[in-house]
A and B are shown apart, each in its own frame.
Chain A
Amino acid sequence: DGGITQSPKYLFRKEGQNVTLSCEQNLNHDAMYWYRQDPGQGLRLIYYSQIVNDFQKGDIAEGYSVSREKKESFPLTVTSAQKNPTAFYLCASSIGGGSDEQYFGPGTRLTVT
Chain B
Amino acid sequence: GNSVTQMEGPVTLSEEAFLTINCTYTATGYPSLFWYVQYPGEGLQLLLKATKADDKGSNKGFEATYRKETTSFHLEKGSVQVSDSAVYFCALSLYNFNKFYFGSGTKLNVKP
Q: Which residue from chain A places its CB closest to the CB of B45 in the assembled complex?
A: A104
Q: A102-B100, A103-B46 are in contact. Are A97 and B105 (CB under 8 A)?
A: no
A41 to chain B: closest residue by CB: B104
**Given A43-B89, A99-B51, A106:B98 Cβ within 8 A:** no
Q: A99-B32, A103-B46 are in contact. Are A42 and B98 (CB under 8 A)?
A: no
Contacts of A105 in B (CB 8 A): 43
Residues on A close to B: CB < 8 A? Answer: 4, 6, 31, 33, 41-43, 45, 48, 50, 58, 90, 92, 96-107, 109
Pairs of residues from A and B, 8 with the lowest C-beta to C-beta distance, nearest first: A104-B43, A42-B104, A98-B98, A104-B44, A99-B32, A99-B95, A98-B95, A43-B102
User: Measuring CB to CB, which residues of chain B are less than 8 angstroms from any residue of chain A?
Assistant: 31-32, 34, 36, 41-46, 49, 51, 89, 93-100, 102-105
A99 to B2 alpha-carbon distance, docked (Å): 14
In the assembled complex, which residues on chain A have CB atoms less than 8 Å from the CB atom of B94? 98-99
- Report how far A98 CA is from B94 CA in the complex, Å: 6
Known: A96-B98, A99-B32. 17 other contacts (CB 8 A): A6-B43, A41-B105, A42-B89, A42-B102, A42-B104, A48-B99, A90-B43, A98-B94, A98-B97, A98-B98, A98-B99, A99-B95, A100-B93, A101-B46, A106-B43, A107-B42, A107-B43
